[in-house]
Structure 1
Amino acid sequence: MNYESTYFRVYQCFMMTSVTVHFTRVVLLTCLFFTPCESEPTEENQPPPPAYIDVTSYPTKLHVRWGQPLDTSILVRGYKLGYGILYPDREILQLSNTTTDHVISNLQPDAQYVIRLRAFNKKDEGFSLYETVYTLQDSSARTTKPPEVLRTPLQLRAVIKSATSALLSWIDMEQGCCDGRHYQFIYKANYPANQKWIDVNTTDLTYALNGLQPYTLYEFKVRMIRDDAISDWSFTTVNKTSKQVRVVQILS
């Protein structure tokens, strides 16, 4: 007995014997197709950044909205929302992984705030999104940025001088302007994780930084500030302090 399968409702038989009674039978076969189940999100890697961030300003509050990370294969435990005048993370709020907006209250009117948002899980914190906004003087709501953005300092260098010190230097393309400008640089150790940035202000183009940890990788960034105007952060510069040399005195 021969069997043939087809997806069509009309089928033509060939090679049949003449003057012979043939019997045919049609059987309907139902096929079930299954799609593979999606794997559960894991925490083997740090979470990706939120999809976007949007901030609406009011006189004494900021309404922050964001989108959940596009990569759903990595588990997100929650979000950390940092904010502060001219510098983020002066205050840090920890929010649930289902939260996609938050209102920051009790702020100063007509002040510049820097917002930092990142997701986190058991592995680490993810890449941060930054937003710089001004609170308003009146009751009208708007999304705003500083009216003037200064030129970002260039060629930030961190030259290691010893196991605990480094010399920072950068270039101001508008050097020579006597307009009350100053520079703010921030730095932190690369390890252990979740280190907070430390900020330093100076009016010079160089700064001797002391009190570092020996044989430690550090990250550095700098920006310019003048009255209410502020530049973007420079590119991050990294360097590693040297090992601590121990001097052993041998008594004769």
Structure 2
Amino acid sequence: FRSTEQETQSPGKPAYVRTRTYTDSVIVSWQPPEEDIIVRGYICGYGEGVPDVNWKYVDASNRNVTITNLKASTQYVVSLRAYNNYGKGPVVYDLIYTREESDGPTPDTLTPPSGLRAKILSPNTAWLQWNDPSLGRPQTITDNRYYNVHYQALPNGKTLSVIVKALRVVLYDLVPGTKYEFKVRTVLDASASPFSVSAFNRTFETAPGSAPRSVNVEGIDQSNNVRVQWRTPRQPNGDITGYIVFYTQDQDLPDREWHVNALPGTSTEAFLGPLSANTTYFFKLQARNSNGLGPMSDIISYFT
């Protein structure tokens, strides 16, 4: 437990806020704020056409809340914010519409899977397991139902999917050092359930799988100072923690005899010099993360 004095800043925005609507309710799910600031709980507000007419306080350990007793075919504004003893954090808003009432069965008559768990097995694989409330106990499949699993690299990866006839699946070919969102729905004949509440997890990091890209060297003044610029590796396989710029007049020297300049992982340029005039220099770069060094970039030359 941390005292109030230690909480000198309110939390950031909840991450990956999702909503799933029904005729008279909505499920709101989220992940904690990205910042490393203590969260005491969450406040979920809602109102018909306007935000924060009503409030629900949610424990810090929860990742979803259900709002009930809503009107069908109605617009609501849902808000979510984290709070601690210092104060409330910034709010996330979402405009939703509850579903229309229907006298007959709809494609969403099946109950969505529950208790979805995502366990990372390696930098490239994840194990998912869930429950199907409509099966009862024991969880035994006796009909022709199957499960449609969707997963996406965050924040903007392409949504991929697999179909399985069991309550678990191992997903392969994931990107190392990447946060994923997972969700699953039940399909039986012509009916499909809503998707489950999402599960999130991050694959293990490995050393960068590719070199810094678009390396360029240019002179910046008459004193033979140069600017080296680059872009992040296409396959960082985690958070880049640093770059090493190598430069020399003799490209045949072993790496340990090149001049080096180490920079933090947020850098995309380095300033070197003054270099010797009327001389050809050779440059190459290497990225690193918490698991090691990646491959070298191609060597480029520059004449001062």
TM-score of the pair, normalised by structure 2: 0.34
User: Greater strand share, 1 or 2?
Assistant: 2
Tell me which structure has the larger Cα radius of gyration.
1
TM-score of the pair, normalised by structure 1: 0.41
